[in-house]
Structure 1
Amino acid sequence: MCMACGFTSTTYDPCLDISLDLEPNQGVSGKSSLAKSNNSCNVVADCMGSSQNCGISTLKGCLERFTRAEKLGSDQKFFCQKCQVRQESLKQMSIRKLPLVSCFHIKRFEHSSIRRMSRKVDRYLQFPFSLDMAPYLSSSILRSRFGNRIFPFDGDEQDACNEVSSEFELFAVVTHTGKLDAGHYVTYLRLSNHWYKCDDAWITRVNESIVLAAQGYMMFYVQKMLYYKASEKQAAS
């Protein structure tokens, strides 16, 4: 959005998943509050010798950061079609249309060409079992910025219509243990409201606290109505 005249240029980018940066370090106080508020899980993130690995992040915080407006620097001015000159601008990401299954990928592997180093970020990520995606939708962000005025979307009107509920349920978590150059992947899967740990050929039933304590690398959320319909069918059979 042009900061001089308010002209907005919109680009649509289809995707299979959303890659999220971890929130900036919240420090030890964040870990302490998590340990006190989550007695059933009692999760405390470990400090691995780097400040980037201390503290906690939350999935909701990562989504808020993903959809937060960002002011582009003076060296990144874009050409405003209304002003007909390059202007300073704001860039903001949002979700136009929700899928039936939402996949979130956490950026745990960092590469720096300046420092000439690569590493894995082991900071703990707190994620909920139930997730409301409404605050991160384009329609919600436009309403928060401009009120209840209606702004038509470009492109196919049918595509812009979002018939999927914004309420989602967690049904799978992929974790990664190890380092950047070597590690192991484990999946936690939710079936009939029970959690199972899938570790190569070994599948064992686990409780929710084990899932919450896992180092989330990818999280899969399914539309809540579909999840409960599938659970009812499994219970009936």
Structure 2
Amino acid sequence: MGAAGSKLEKALGDQFPEGERYFGLENFGNTCYCNSVLQALYFCVPFREQLLEYYANNKSLADGEENLLTCLADLFSQISSQKKKTGVIAPKRFVQRLKKQNELFRSYMHQDAHEFLNFLLNELVDILVKEAKSAAKYDQETSPPSEKAANGPNNGLPNGAKKEPLVTWVHKNFQGILTNETRCLRCETVTARDEIFFDLSLDIEQNSSITSCLKNFSSTETLNAEDKFFCDKCCSLQEAQKRMKIKKPPHVLVIHLKRFKYIEQLGRYKKLSYRVVFPLELKLSDTVEDADIEYSLFAVVVHVGSGPNHGHYVSLVKSHNHWLFFDDENVEMIDESAVQTFFGSSQEYSSNTDHGYILFYESIGSGDRN
């Protein structure tokens, strides 16, 4: 980092807490998709704290089986325990493990940051659930015979009740619940189906905003003609109205802007450089059931480039009321107003190819953010 590092250290001055660290990440040949997402996750404070707590409680596992969770925890621990405030860390062990785990990320081709984030969060959940089940099985096998008898066979639940799915600290940060409501226009019966999500993928339009994208996401759609809905009460296909709502908003709302669209005429994906305004404070009202939730933006993963198969990723993060720009090894402070330059282009063709791609919002009042 050299002169730039000392310049940043000087800029940080006394404005940041003593324990906070701002480290660039080395690029191992097109690994910017990974670096940009890791920076956003590192500055997701509740996630970082819980990951470091996991690391502290499982240091004995360091000699055990390596997985993406242990590699990520080790990386975050390395960064947070550095003596200096700034510098560069090589996430070599994590990247090697990622490539070993998923062949999609093995090549040196341009990868998708959203695909990586999705894979990583789901992989972390799988590991934590597996560890919890393993621990529960161990506890049951080592508990006294009297306790086993009291618990009954396989800890069975009364009246054939279903066992609640395990909720990990990754779920507690990122998981929300969507409800898909379909109302039969003949008998007015509403059929609702819930599904969980770790991020929302939104269709985008030119010169729009996150608020309007969310409204479109939750807008009512009429199912008719060939798209009629089979109503169980009417026992036949009927016209219906369908809408998607957020039933339970997550603590950390991750929004993925669908900037890459398949164009039939071209026979390939094209990047949409549309200008989509993402506010620093976001209110969820129209899209949420009986709630008015407010969120604060704390990280943006930016795609730089004109197409989906090439380009670069950088990230912007907010830390203690200041914005920083992370570009692999390079880290610099930026003005809050600079965030607007990543909204996109109001023209079809523009020299500006730096566009917000994944947005990270944390709910206000659910933890001291900054």
The answer, yes or no, to whether TM exceeds 0.5 is yes
| Match in the other structure for 1:143 | none
Amino acid at match of 1:221: Y
SS of the equivalent of 2:214 reads: helix
Cα distance between partner residues in 1 of 2:215 and 2:357: 18
Q: CA deviation at 1:203?
A: 0.7
1:169 aligns to what? 296
Q: What residue is the counterpart of 1:203 in the other structure?
A: 331
Query: Quick check: 1:218 aligned with 2:369?
Result: no
SS at match of 1:92: strand
CA distance, structure 2, for counterparts of residue 173 and residue 63 of structure 1: 17
Equivalent residue, structure 1, for 2:186: 4
The superposition leaves residues 35-77 of structure 1 with CA deviations (integer Å, 9 ceiling, x where unpaired) of: xxxxxxxxxxxxxxxxxxxxx1200000000000011231111
Q: CA deviation at 1:112?
A: 3.6
Task: Write the distance in 2 (CA, Å) between the matches of 1:135 and 1:201.
Answer: 41
Could you tell me which of 197, 202, 209 is aligned with 1:20? 202
SS of 1:173's equivalent?
strand
**Deviation >4 Å, runs of 4+:** none
1:184 is aligned to 2:312: yes
What is the CA–CA distance in structure 2 between the aligned matches of 1:57 and 1:183, rounded to whole Å? 24
* Whole-angstrom CA distance in 2 between matches of 1:186 and 1:126: 18
| Structure 2 gap segments, 5+ residues each | 1-182, 343-354
Kindly provide the amino acid, as one letter, of the partner of residue 17 in structure 1: D
Larger relative helix fraction: 2
Is residue 136 from structure 1 mapped to residue 318 from structure 2 by the alignment? no
Deviation at 1:113, TM superposition (A): 4.5
Alignment-derived partner of residue 46 in structure 1: none
Cα distance in structure 2, aligned partners of 1:106 and 1:207: 23
C-alpha RMSD of the superposition: 1.6
> CA–CA distance in 1 between the matches of 2:331 and 2:315?
10
C-alpha separation in 1, matches of 2:234 and 2:364: 45
Larger Rg, first or second structure (1 or 2): 2
What is the rounded CA distance, in whole Å, between the counterparts of 1:12 and 1:124 in structure 2? Answer: 32
| C-alpha distance after superposition, 1:104-161 (max 9, x if no partner) | 0000001145652321100111011111112211336xxxxxxxxxxxxxxxxxxxxx
Number of aligned positions between the proteins:
175
3-state SS of the aligned residue for 1:180? coil
Q: Name the structure 1 match of 2:322.
A: 194
% identical equivalent positions: 34
Which whole-Å CA distance do the structure 2 matches of 1:230 and 1:105 have between them? 21
Q: Specify the alignment match of 1:34 in structure 2.
A: none
Normalised to the residue count of structure 1, the TM-score between the two structures is: 0.70
Equivalent residue number for residue 238 of structure 2? 87
Secondary structure at the counterpart of residue 256 of structure 2:
strand
> Once the 2 structures are TM-superposed, how far is the Cα of residue 226 of structure 1 from its aligned partner?
3.8
CA distance in 2, matches of 1:91, 1:115: 32
